[in-house]
Amino acid sequence: MEDGKSTGPKAKWWSRPTAGGTTRTAPDEPTPVQDTAPTVDVTGATGVTEAHAAEVPPQPSAPETVSYPPAPEPVASVVATQPVAPLHEPDQYSTPPYGGPGPWAPAPPVQRPVPTPAHGTPVPPQYAGTNGAGIPTSPAPGLTPPPQQPQSQPTQWLQYDPWGAPRQPLTNPGPPLGADGGRKKNRRGPLLVGAVLLALVAGGIGGGIGAYIERNGGLTQVELPQTGHNSGGRAPDSVAGIASSALPSVVTLHVSGTTESGTGTGFVLDKSGHILTNNHVVAPAGSSGEITVTFSGGETARAEVVGKDSGYDLAVVKVTGVSGLKPLPLGNSDNVQVGDPVVAIGAPFDLSNTVTSGIISAKDRPITAGGEKGDGSDISYVDALQTDAPINPGNSGGPLVDTDAHVIGINSAIRAADSGSSTEGGQAGSIGLGFAIPINQGKRVAEELINTGKATHPVIGVTLDMKYTGDGAKVGTKGAADKPAVTPGGPGAKAGIKPGDVITEVDGRRVHSGEELIVKIRAHRPGDRLDLGLTRGGKDLSISLTLGSATGT
């Protein structure tokens, strides 16, 4: 080689085939180079290559027709050329484009031949190709493009030109970047802002709808009419009005001792901190136990026993260091009539501030409670008020109030369905038979316990036969420890009562048993004068006596 180009036969790249034959007419002007060897055309070639057309000058001879048989097969054209003087000095370094192709040269395009269509089938025009800048090139001199035939849209691979296209049309179709890129970029900003605003508005609307559904129970749920709120005021004589007035004065007591504990109720007597309750409520504390008072507002305080009496089943405790105490007014139990409405307040089963209501079912019910010790020292005798207001364990010591919110009794006992009358501290539930100590008796005993620490009992100075089953209370024939049944010099001896007499009336009211006689006597104060009716040897007698006094326990 003299100019870096191959002078021998050179393989060419085939152009795309076309249907039918193609006529190539040489130009009229003569060519300046006449020493070029004629082209050897091998029958069956599919066309003339671009490289061949560039090297062979046009001939002034008659037009040469090249036919394209129906079923061509690719065959290499061999071009014989004469040595030509090099245009440049030989490059000893073989630098492209004058030397051989360098390792960085791009690979030539891959052209995939397709079967020649049948005769008469329209085919696309011959592929013209582009230069390195992507500009289409015109046909080589001396070649006439085939006439245009009606054809369908060319396929993608027929439009592919890796040498001229700045980017791959098959992988990135569409218009090139540049002209309107900035406009699209500018348009994307407002679209993004609009999308954000739309999302915010939609979120706000959704949140509002969600809140409405949560508050109103849905969009389609039924909402029933309801009366609006009122001021909360109630008539003073209604149950609500009574409870509102009395509750601040009611307390709950929690008592714990060495062997047992309990819960009960009490109410404030004065601003000094004295609280009235039942004896059986504070009894578990003994002499070293602990008593805690809880007020209706939740405040608590320690309490100490001031005095107690088992015969009346009453006790007074006192709290210190507590201000703002509200005493509960005391009524008059003698004014109570059967059928009067009443309200009971307490802590049944430790449920503090519980309010129940009912009526006075009966008066002067003689009941006894206690007796667990067996010696009779813990038995209480009560000329009680009966009520159907529910009273349960924990109500003991609580107030029974009238419509003026005045205390008329101290809730103390219930009638159980299976165990007779008993203290309310038992585990039986209410069956509508509750009993309260009349407040007139409670007031007197409370005053004595506060003033002296003990209570006095009115007595007639006789020993009763508690085993007597007949009607009335029978005086025994012998007292305790073989003492006389009628105490010498006592109220009974002075009135003329003798052993064996049966007392049948007290102040004109019938007496049916010994317990009932004791209850009716204790309903009075020491020094009160009583009229008694009795039977002696089948004869009815009437006597009068003045009650004596004995210290209770």
Q: Cα 95 to the chain's mean position, in Å?
A: 84
Q: Which of 276, 286, 273 is nearest to 412 (CA)?
A: 276
317 by DSSP, 3-state: which?
strand
Q: Determine the Cα–Cα distance for residues 377 and 258; give it in Å rounded to an integer.
A: 21
Q: Which of 455, 423, 457 is nearest to 284 (CA)?
A: 423
Q: Determine the Cα–Cα distance for residues 288 and 258; give it in Å rounded to an integer.
A: 8
Residues in contact with 408: Cβ distance below 8 Å, sequence separation at least 6, in sequence order = 331, 332, 333, 336, 342, 385, 400, 401, 402, 436, 438, 439
By CB atoms closer than 10 A (0-12, 13-18, 19+), residue 387 is buried
| CA distances from residue 408 to 139, 252, 365 in whole angstroms, order as listed | 130, 19, 15
DSSP string of 378-391? T-EEEEEEEE-S--
Residues in contact with 31: Cβ distance below 8 Å, sequence separation at least 6, in sequence order = 57, 58, 59, 60
Residue pair 265/277 in contact (Cβ under 8 Å)? The answer is yes
| Helix H or strand E segment including 23 | strand 22-24
> What residue type is assigned to position 10 of the chain?
K
Q: Cα 494 to the chain's mean position, in Å?
A: 78
Q: Determine the Cα–Cα distance for residues 48 and 52; give it in Å rounded to an integer.
A: 7
239 by DSSP, 3-state: which?
helix
DSSP strands (E only) in 347-379:
354-369
253 by DSSP, 3-state: which?
strand
**What letter would DSSP give residue 485?**
S
Residue pair 313/379 in contact (Cβ under 8 Å)? The answer is no
Residue pair 278/409 in contact (Cβ under 8 Å)? The answer is no
> What residue type is assigned to position 18 of the chain?
T
β-strands 548-551, 407-416: how paired?
Answer: unpaired
Which residue numbers are catalytic?
280, 313, 396
At 266, phi and psi to the nearest 5? -155, 175
HEC profile for 399-453?
A: EEECCCCCEEEEEEEEEECCCEEEECCCCCCCCCCEEEEEHHHHHHHHHHHHHHC
